[in-house]
Structure 1
Amino acid sequence: MAKLNVQDTMGNLGDYLREQRRQAQMSLRQLAEVSEVSNPYLSQIERGVRRPSAEVLGQIARALRISAESLYVRAGILDIDETGTRMVEDAIALDTRLTERQKTALLDIYRSFVGPEHVADDQLATTVTEANQEENS
């Protein structure tokens, strides 16, 4: 049963990545070039076949100009916090009616209201490091 949950998580991550890539109007090849992750590997991630490391997710997030945190949550590396901050940020990022500029503006406004309650950079770095170490074991 645990395998099913992992597979569901990876499938959801792949679907999310594919949607973000399409919204960015990038082909898989373009994303591979910008993120410096191989085209076949990205394809496997999108299809839910491979589980990427936190480092690879960070590269993909930078290339797509989305929150690495949202990818870490979808990959099961981070848990959604109780305040729902990540859920709101994900909802803004997923809204196809918004331009990238509008999304950035909304995120800035939202964060100004809720404050810096999301994961601190050092806590995020620790979590990512631990996830990478687990994967390499």
Structure 2
Amino acid sequence: MTVFGKIAIGCVVSFLLLSLPDLANAASNSPKIGLPPPVVGPTVCDYRGCFGFGSQQWYRPPGYPIPYTPPSLDRRNRFDNPRVYIQPRNNVPPRTNYPAPVNDRTRHQMWCSEHYRTYNPGTNLYTTLHHGFQTCRSPYY
């Protein structure tokens, strides 16, 4: 007998068994077992979906509507009353009218910086190839 024949015979036998009134009635009127109602636990929703906990756990993928969970009366939102109080900052803007360093340069420093590329106005020195550091001597000094 071929595989198709076995499948056809199995379908016919199952239809005959379901068509009998006593077997169909017995299958539909099964005795109810006294199970307690499921205890509703907390619900956690994140990017993966919603997870329900309690006596019966469940999962809903993202995109389904979020189930209504009544807020519990004994738990407060932990962000409403923080434990640590941080004082607000004084919003005083920093002083922005700093004098530009170029405005403080004297004519001596301007002359030295134009003549010596490595001139440092803070120390009044410039570097040379053979003698190290030399003091700048300008006509304005």
Compare the two structures and name the one with the higher strand fraction: 2
Shorter-chain TM-score bucket reads under 0.3
TM (norm. structure 2) is: 0.16
Compare the two structures and name the one with the higher helix fraction: 1
TM (norm. structure 1) is: 0.16
- Structure with higher Rg: it is 2
Higher relative contact order, structure no. (Cα contacts within 8 Å, ≥ 6 residues apart): 1
